[in-house]
Structure 1
């Protein structure tokens, strides 16, 4: 598993909200799908209202999310 940072924005009719999520996935395409699923279920947003701007693979020292960092580094 690799850590990815997916950035983008949620576009609703009268609101535009930027977001950045760190997720675990094998490929960047899987990371994007995971973000679509998480944001869609948590915020009730359809995929057509989510715009992905970038996907970046992160090194262990760049990870900010403590759960993702713990899984990647194997710390206990």
Structure 2
């Protein structure tokens, strides 16, 4: 079974591309099995929360980091769990 890793994704996102384009830097901490899944999560997250199209997201960096370096408390707390019961 694969181990879940923690990734930091840095990107530049263009909001309101049709009317008044505004670029903004985004840093997102993600737990995923590999870089491809982490990137897919970022696309779906920004698309659902901010209605940003994939072609308006320019990825600068995807880097695997230790869990202790994650600044997002939710990501750190999820890493501590052994089992999730729904």
TM-score (norm: length of structure 1):
0.89
Q: Does 1:3 align with 2:10?
A: no
Q: Structure 2 length as normaliser, TM-score?
A: 0.80
Contact 1:60 1:73 in 2 (8 A): no
Q: Which has the larger radius of gyration?
A: 2
> Any residues of structure 2 matched to 1:16-31 within 5 Å, and which?
16-31=23-38
Match of 2:60 in 1: 53
Q: Describe the SS at the equivalent of 1:51.
A: strand
Q: Alignment length, in residue pairs?
A: 75
Q: Say whether residues 1:36 and 2:43 are aligned partners.
A: yes
Structure 1's consecutive aligned runs of 4 or more residues displaced over 3 angstroms after TM superposition are none
| Distance across 2 between alignment mates of 1:59 and 1:16 | 29
Question: Which ranges of structure 1 fall in alignment gaps of 5 or more residues?
Answer: none
Q: What CA distance in whole angstroms lies between the structure 1 residues aligned with 2:79 and 2:49?
A: 24
Greater percentage in strand: 1
Deviation at 1:40, TM superposition (A): 0.8
RMSD between aligned residues = 1.5
